[in-house]
Amino acid sequence: MATEQMQQFLQAIRQDGSLQERMRTAPDQASIARLAVELGAEHGYHFTATEVEEWMGEHTAAVGELSDRELDQVSGGGGWPQPTSVLVNAYGGC
């Protein structure tokens, strides 16, 4: 059930630019997980930070390659993309 809730929340992130921006404020994986739980709850979704971290771990390996935007960011001196991009990019977001 929680996995379905998390999948639905990820779809909501994909469709809502303000959620994407709020998620991008988290500086590290643990913060992302906590923020996802908090924002998810605000929007009626229920899952744990552990579930988010496990999902990100599984999908980081699956995503693997950097997007064009991420490559531009790295090559332009912007540093490595934030871990949040795993959540957003996994569902075709920015």
Q: pLDDT, tens digit, for every residue of 17-42?
A: 898 888 888 888 888 889 999 999 99
94 domain-assigned: no
Q: pLDDT, tens digit, for every residue of 47-58?
A: 999 998 888 877
What is the secondary structure of 30-82 as a DSSP string? HHHHHHHHHHHHHTT----HHHHHHHHHHHHHHH-SPPHHHHHHHHTT--SPP
10 domain-assigned: yes
* pLDDT score, position 24: 84
- Top-confidence residue, 59 or 37: 37
Domain assignment of residue 37, given as a range: 2-89
68 domain-assigned: yes
45 domain-assigned: yes
Structurally, the chain folds into a number of domains equal to 1
Both tokens of 59, joined, read: 């999908």
Tell me the pTM: 0.66
